[in-house]
């Protein structure tokens, strides 16, 4: 799938933190995908999140190809443990997006989890049994 997105002039930029579970899940899903972008529908908000290695952008279904908010400059390399929150910059391209931002931070993890559940392996696991070594066996 290919989508061309446009941006208005940047209105505001602010530092924020993202829970490690959300960031890690997004990166894990991105690593599984064959393309360099991951498209995640946030159905509860009628938004589309487009995730790549550089940023996460959020597009409203009403405005189609115009980015409302982008999350950029993730500082994942600065954390000392995988469960520490990630600092990033939220870039706003429209006025009065504070409520939208709060909703995205709560709904985006649910959309990621739903996508991960759809991609979970569905087949049966095959267990290989190995003969247990005894003291009389030669190494």
Per-residue pLDDT of the chain (139 residues; tens, 9 = 90+): 778 889 999 999 999 999 999 999 999 999 888 888 899 999 999 999 999 989 999 999 988 889 999 999 998 888 888 899 999 999 999 998 989 999 999 999 999 999 988 875 555 656 666 766 666 666 5
Compute the distance between CA of residue 9 and CA of residue 120 in angstroms, rounded to an integer: 39
Per domain, the residue ranges of the chain are 12-117
Q: What is the DSSP-derived secondary structure letter of residue 45?
A: T
Q: Is-above-0.85 flag for pTM?
A: no
Spatial neighbors of 20 by CB under 8 A, at least 6 apart, are: 79, 82, 83, 84, 85, 86
């Amino acid at each position: 799938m290919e989508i061309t997105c446009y941006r208005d002039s940047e209105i505001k930029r602010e530092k924020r933190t993202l829970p490690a579970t959300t960031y890690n899940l997004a990166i894990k899903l991105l690593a599984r995908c064959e393309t360099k972008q991951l498209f995640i529908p946030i159905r509860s908000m009628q938004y589309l999140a487009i995730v790549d290695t550089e940023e996460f952008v959020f597009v409203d279904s009403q405005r189609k190809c115009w980015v409302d908010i982008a999350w950029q400059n993730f500082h994942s390399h600065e954390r000392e443990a995988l469960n520490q929150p990630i600092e990033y910059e939220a870039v706003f391209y429209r006025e009065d997006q504070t409520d939208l931002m709060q909703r995205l931070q709560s709904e985006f993890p649910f959309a990621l989890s739903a996508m991960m559940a759809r991609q979970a392996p569905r087949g049966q696991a095959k267990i290989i049994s190995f003969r247990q070594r005894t003291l009389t066996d030669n190494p």
